[in-house]
Structure 1
Amino acid sequence: MDVESDQPESPDPISEADFVRLFARHELALRNYARLILPDWNRVDDVLQDASITMWESRQRLRDESGFLPWGKVIVRHKCFNAIAKMRRDRLVLDKNVLELIAREEAVETESEDLIRIQLSLEECLGELTPERRELVLAPYRGAGEVKTLADESGKTPNSLYKIIGRLRGKLSQCVEAKLRLELS
Structure 2
Amino acid sequence: MFDIQTNSNLKKGDPSTFKDVFRVLYPRLKGYCKLFVPDDNKVEDLIQETFITLWEKRNSIKTDRSIESYLFVILRNNCLNFLRNEKLEKTTFSVNLEEVSELQYLYQIDFLGKEEKSLEEQLVESFQQVVNELPDKMKLVFTQCKIEGRKQKEVAEEMGISVKMVEKHIAKAKEQIKNKLINQYPMLIIIITLLLDK
Alignment pair present for 1:75 and 2:74: yes
Query: For residue 99 of structure 2, what is the aligned residue in structure 1?
Result: 95
Q: Taking structure 1 as reference, are residues 100 and 21 closer, same or farther at Cα in structure 2, changes over 3 Å only? A: farther
CA distance in structure 1 between the partners assigned to 2:20 and 2:148 by the alignment: 19
Match of 2:143 among 117, 129, 132: 117
Amino acid corresponding to residue 170 of structure 1 in structure 2: M
Q: Taking structure 1 as reference, are residues 70 and 42 closer, same or farther at Cα in structure 2, changes over 3 Å only? A: same
Q: In angstroms, what is the RMSD of aligned CA positions?
A: 4.1
Secondary structure at the counterpart of residue 95 of structure 1: helix
Check whether the contact 2:29–2:72 (CA below 8 A) recurs between aligned residues. Answer: yes
Runs of 5+ unmatched residues, structure 2: 1-7, 110-118, 132-138, 156-160, 171-198
CA distance in structure 1 between the partners assigned to 2:145 and 2:19 by the alignment: 19
| TM-score, structure 1 normalization | 0.51
Runs of 5+ unmatched residues, structure 1: 1-10, 130-165, 176-185
Amino acid corresponding to residue 163 of structure 2 in structure 1: L
Aligned residues: 130
Q: Taking structure 1 as reference, are residues 80 and 48 closer, same or farther at Cα in structure 2, changes over 3 Å only? A: same
Secondary structure at the counterpart of residue 44 of structure 1: helix
Secondary structure at the counterpart of residue 38 of structure 2: coil
1:8-157 alignment runs, 5 A limit: 13-14=11-12, 15-64=14-63, 67-88=66-87, 89-90=89-90, 95-99=99-103, 101=105, 112-113=127-128, 114=131, 117=143, 119-120=145-146, 123-126=149-152, 128=154
Check whether the contact 1:47–1:76 (CA below 8 A) recurs between aligned residues. Answer: yes
Question: 1:136-181 CA deviation, whole Å, 9 max, x = no partner?
Answer: xxxxxxxxxxxxxxxxxxxxxxxxxxxxxx9531266689xxxxxx
Q: Which structure's CA Rg is the greater one?
A: 1
Question: 1:47-82 CA deviation, whole Å, 9 max, x = no partner?
Answer: 111112111111222242751111101110111111
| TM-score, structure 2 normalization | 0.48
CA distance in structure 1 between the partners assigned to 2:15 and 2:62 by the alignment: 12
CA distance in structure 1 between the partners assigned to 2:52 and 2:63 by the alignment: 19
Q: CA deviation at 1:18?
A: 1.7
Q: Taking structure 1 as reference, are residues 127 and 55 closer, same or farther at Cα in structure 2, changes over 3 Å only? A: farther
Q: Taking structure 1 as reference, are residues 102 and 37 closer, same or farther at Cα in structure 2, changes over 3 Å only? A: farther
Amino acid corresponding to residue 128 of structure 1 in structure 2: E
